């Protein structure tokens, strides 16, 4: 199975996670601090090349009602730019509540999330990738081993 890079896109920070070669585990990567979409595309494309990722999933920040707002439109624009820059498949996946789950996991581990937005973004990318991997597994018709 190819390695997949997950991107929790934001205007100032980008959380990243990568799958293992078997598509089972999602591992957080250092959060990128960026200034603008062009820098974001370039740095994520560099990460794709370094990791030899075969595809990317970008979080689509829909509203709780499932509608697209300004953030979702910006994420879609970023995904299109990234696809053009790296030439590999770039999918969008609903990222609702990934940051909340990331913060919850941090609290459960005894970590503070306040003032650690980069760590929250990294965790959100992990949650996004876990959801994407589960979706792919379901689409392949594989039974859950849990």
pLDDT computed for residue 15 by the predictor: 95
What is the model's pLDDT at position 142? 75
Q: Specify the number of domains making up the chain.
A: 1
Residue 60 covered by a domain: yes
pLDDT at residue 27 greater than cutoff 90: yes
Does residue 144 lie in a domain region?
no
Report pLDDT digits (tens) over 133-144: 989 888 888 765
29 occurs within a structural domain? yes
Each residue of 99-111: pLDDT tens digit? Answer: 777 777 777 887 7
- Residues in the chain, total: 146
27 found inside a domain: yes
Examine residue 146 and state whether it is found in any structural domain, yes or no: no
- Report in angstroms the alpha-carbon separations of 64 from 3, 13, 15, 69: 30, 22, 21, 11
Give the whole-angstrom CA distance, residue 121 versus residue 6.
11
Q: Convert the pLDDT of each residue in 46-75 to its tens digit.
A: 999 999 999 999 999 988 888 999 999 999
- Is 67 inside any structural domain? yes
pLDDT of residue 53: 95
Paired sense of beta strands 4-8 and 13-19, if any: antiparallel
Please give the pLDDT value at position 120: 82
Q: Which of 7-11, 83-87, 97-101, 105-109 has the highest mean pLDDT?
A: 83-87
- Predicted confidence at residue 11, as pLDDT, reads 87
Structural domain including 69 reads 4-139
User: Count of CB atoms within 10 A of residue 73's CB?
Assistant: 12
Backbone angles phi, psi at 66, to 5 degrees: 85, 15
Name the more confident of 104 and 44.
Answer: 44
pLDDT band at 81 (very low <50, low <70, confident <90, very high): very high
CATH code for the domain of 88:
3.30.420.140
Task: Tell me, yes or no, whether 56 lies in a domain.
Answer: yes
């Amino acid at each position: 199975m190819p390695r997949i890079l997950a991107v929790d896109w934001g205007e100032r920070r980008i959380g990243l996670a990568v799958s293992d070669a078997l598509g089972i585990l999602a591992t957080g990567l250092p959060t990128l601090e960026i200034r603008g979409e062009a820098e974001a595309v370039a740095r994520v494309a560099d990460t794709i090349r370094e990791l030899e990722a075969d595809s990317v999933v970008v979080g689509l920040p829909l509203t709780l009602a499932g509608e697209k707002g300004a953030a979702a439109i910006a994420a879609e624009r970023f995904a299109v730019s990234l696809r053009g820059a790296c030439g590999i498949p770039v999918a969008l996946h609903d990222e609702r509540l990934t940051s909340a789950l990331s913060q919850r996991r941090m609290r459960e581990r005894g970590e503070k999330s306040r003032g650690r937005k980069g760590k929250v973004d990294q965790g959100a990318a992990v949650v996004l990738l876990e959801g994407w991997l589960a979706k792919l597994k379901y689409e392949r018709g594989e039974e859950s081993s849990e």
